[in-house]
């Protein structure tokens, strides 16, 4: 699932995440606490674990939800 960090609400420490539109994703937007995110890691036999470098062309930042037990809430 791809996530795009589009805005940070500093006083509430919330991040809006926009999922990729179909068919790659569900196309929804959610808010989540910034403390629940960390960089995604990629693993290969040659390099081991690395943090992927975001591409200027992709215009997104790789991240993963740390606390997957909480229910996502829609961002209004």
Domain residue spans of the chain:
3-74
| Residue 57 pLDDT | 53
Give the CA distances from residue 65 to residues 2, 12, 34, 69, in Å, rounded to whole numbers and listed in that order: 11, 18, 9, 10
β-strand partners of 29: 18
Q: What is the pLDDT of residues 9-61, one digit of tens each?
A: 444 578 888 887 887 778 888 888 877 776 677 777 887 877 766 655 555 55
| Residue 48 pLDDT | 80
State the Cα–Cα distance between residues 52 and 54, nearest whole angstrom: 6
Asked if residues 75 and 16 have their Cβ atoms less than 8 Å apart, the reply is yes
């Amino acid at each position: 699932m791809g996530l795009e960090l589009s805005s940070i609400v500093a006083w509430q420490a919330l991040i809006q995440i926009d999922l990729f539109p179909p068919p790659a994703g569900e196309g929804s937007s959610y808010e989540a606490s910034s403390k629940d995110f960390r960089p995604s890691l990629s693993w290969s036999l040659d390099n081991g674990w690395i943090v992927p470098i975001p591409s200027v062309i992709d215009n997104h930042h790789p991240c993963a939800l740390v606390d997957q037990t909480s229910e996502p809430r829609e961002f209004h």
